[in-house]
Amino acid sequence: MKVVLVGTGNVATVLGKLIVQQGHTVVGVKGRALQATETLAQTLAAETIVTNVTPVADMYVIAVNDSSIASAAATLSIPDNAILVHTAASVSYEVLQPYAAKVGVLYPLQSLRSQMPYIPKIPFLIDAPDNIIGEQIFAFATSLSGQVAYADTKTRTQLHVGAVVVSNFVNHLYHLAYEYCEKANLPWDMLQPLIHETADRLALLPPSQLQTGPAVRKDFVTIEKHHALLAAHPQLQALYQQISSSIIHTFR
């Protein structure tokens, strides 16, 4: 399939590499910054699009921030038989309908970083105004991933909330723990096996069956010792107390 990619950020870069890796052709890349556009186009062996004259393709993928989707779509010329999709979680395909006859959503439910040397497994959630377009987007998505599902805007937004909690929030806790280790001159690398083991277990059992630690044991002596140790880290101390209380309440 021939694809035009709009955007040059993390999502556009990783999706572009995946699309090419899976045997499709990116015929053009369009972005706001010329240098970034040229760099990505060169990486994908594609044309750099610098005008509103768009190469003919089967699929046009807009991978930009939510507020820029409509303005990006307005710069494209889409053939009637081609499909225009965006990659946003909480934006309806309706935002694209003024700009193309066939529209939809191709949302990658994954944290994507262009600097990473590998492409992670990416589940895709798709949406479309009718079954025929949906089947076409589904077929394209399944060529990129073994995990594809239909999801309307509400469902995608709900899953995005879950994604924020398990990825963004958890990473912030990692950041606070890293700072704690740095300030106390503790070896952060000693926690790496624990991080991996905790994540790996989630493929086997639900989180409720995997909860460990002083809070689930109602070990208030240890909790108080930890709370005192975190006096110099008020942000982490407050979160420690709040999350411990949540665990205690959950498993009472």
Alpha-carbon distance of 127 to 120, in angstroms, equals: 22
CATH code at 156-250: 1.10.1040.20
pLDDT at position 216 is 97
Strands (E), the chain: 2-6, 25-30, 47-49, 59-62, 83-86, 102-108, 124-127, 148-150
Dihedral over alpha carbons 114, 117, 122, 127 (to 10 degrees) = 30
49-96 tens-digit pLDDT? 988 778 899 999 999 999 999 999 999 999 999 999 999 999 999 999
136-182 tens-digit pLDDT? 999 999 999 999 999 999 999 999 999 999 999 999 999 999 999 99
Within the chain, all domains assigned CATH 3.40.50.720 are found at 2-151
25-58 tens-digit pLDDT? 999 999 999 999 999 999 999 999 988 778 899 9
- Please report, as a single letter, which amino acid is at residue 220: F
CA count, 13 A, side-chain hemisphere, 87: 29
Within the chain, all domains assigned CATH 1.10.1040.20 are found at 156-250
| SS3 state of residue 102 | strand
CATH T-level fold of 2-151: Rossmann fold (3.40.50)
* Reported confidence tier of residue 113, pLDDT bands at 50, 70, 90: very high
* Reported confidence tier of residue 125, pLDDT bands at 50, 70, 90: very high
